[in-house]
Structure 1
Amino acid sequence: MSESFLNVRNLSVTFPTASGTFAAVDDISFTLKRGEILALVGESGSGKSMTSLAIMRLLPDAARFHGTISIDGTAIAGLDRRHMEDVRGARIGMIFQEPMTSLNPVLKIGRQMTEGLIRHQRMPRHQARIAAIAALDDVGIPDPKSLLDQYPHHLSGGMRQRVMIAAALTLKPGVLIADEPTTALDVTVQAQVLDLLVDLKTRHGSGVLLITHDIGVVAETADRVAVMRGGRIVETGTVGDILTNPQHDYTKGLIASHLTVERAMRQRHAEGRRGRTS
């Protein structure tokens, strides 16, 4: 399972402004293989999420797109709307960073969890509900059967995020884009979600594009890393090479910042334990 599955070549996303053209993504190229997790890492505003929206063909109307994108040899950049809708969900799925803007507020969770299975896999509705319940159970949602009859506004932010993850995983897409998938989740659920992503790539051979600013998440789950800054990819490599021998100053700064925060949290935890025992 080493062949290239997602190919992005010379991708640029620009926006017209009063002072000229702004490049949110500036001529980037990368590949994602089957059975691999590629982490796209960088600070807020580096172009990570805009890259994912370009791949999904969900860019704002004002955006201008340049470059080529192919999935398993099929070029998708030029597909019309109807054919692109066939690709989304079944061949390429996405876990969005903010689930409240992605879930339909007027539809029950059950409808939103099952519509992809019914459309793409021609699954009977009752069977789709069973699959949805199993997926919700996999992401740690208690009493998933009753959750199907609730609306998104009935759920907490963390619960909505888990619903989005479960919905994406039900179709087992060849490519899954996970945009900050552990945002708003507690530590236990974070670990559970990351395990699910690893399981998706291991058991189903999916390629996962993991978008994150969290170096700890990268170290725990990724196989390779592409570091973005100012719309460009400044460094790529295996997770081991990037974390132990970074070449670019920006990458070194990201890792140093993470280690500083990690040390501070360990120290605070240790001081709290000493305070409780004194």
Structure 2
Amino acid sequence: MRGLLFALICLFTGAAHAAPGNAYLTLIIDDLGQSPARDARVLALPGPVTLAIMPDTPHATEFARQGHRAGKTVMLHMPMDPATGPYAWHPGTPIPELEQRLLAALAKVPFVSGINNHMGSRMTAQPEAMAWLMGELQRRHLFFVDSRTSAATVAAAKAQAQGLAHLSRDVFLDDLRTPEAIARQLQVAIALARKQGSAVMIGHPYPQTLDVLERELPRLKAQGIELIEIHQMIAERSNRAMPAHGKNGVYR
């Protein structure tokens, strides 16, 4: 709750304090809770790394507790169509059933400050369900990150319309799972942060991704890049859409 209150306060104050010319990055690692060894490597990454934990993984609850104890921000990585499983949301599912699946997922992953979508290319394009979700998150004092797995997503737009604290992903680090491609994507994120002031990155706990991040994250400061906590990024962006996602701060 402390982190959430900080985020809400910063939504009103953060933009006024942001120094011109700063370049900020925020890093989210998805798909956590599957492997204690890989999860431990993520937890050991330097700086403020946000942990997005899947509810239908064998170590979800314990790793959420570990992350919370370590002072990391914990997110629910919510399965959405075409994802499958007992928690997954699918188009056409009645809202009461979506609510039950969300509640079950939140019970499985404690200490969450917000959620983002796992997959979800079909589900995040559903206006009614996304509007309901953003209202429910607002009621629960949770933020939302649109992973933007589809150009047809309306999730961030619905969050913005309701004044919900939210972000949209700018760069996926590891669509191509080679060290060279991941390093290039990190440079894309750095260049974008320099151009527009900030960039939100999402990666996964692949060995190649973790190798690159372990090597490159300690070098960011020397490049004039600041890795910031996700609540700070919410404050920095103040619910505005970035140019790739909208016009004049409003989502398309």
| TM-score, scaled relative to structure 1 | 0.37
| TM-score, scaled relative to structure 2 | 0.40
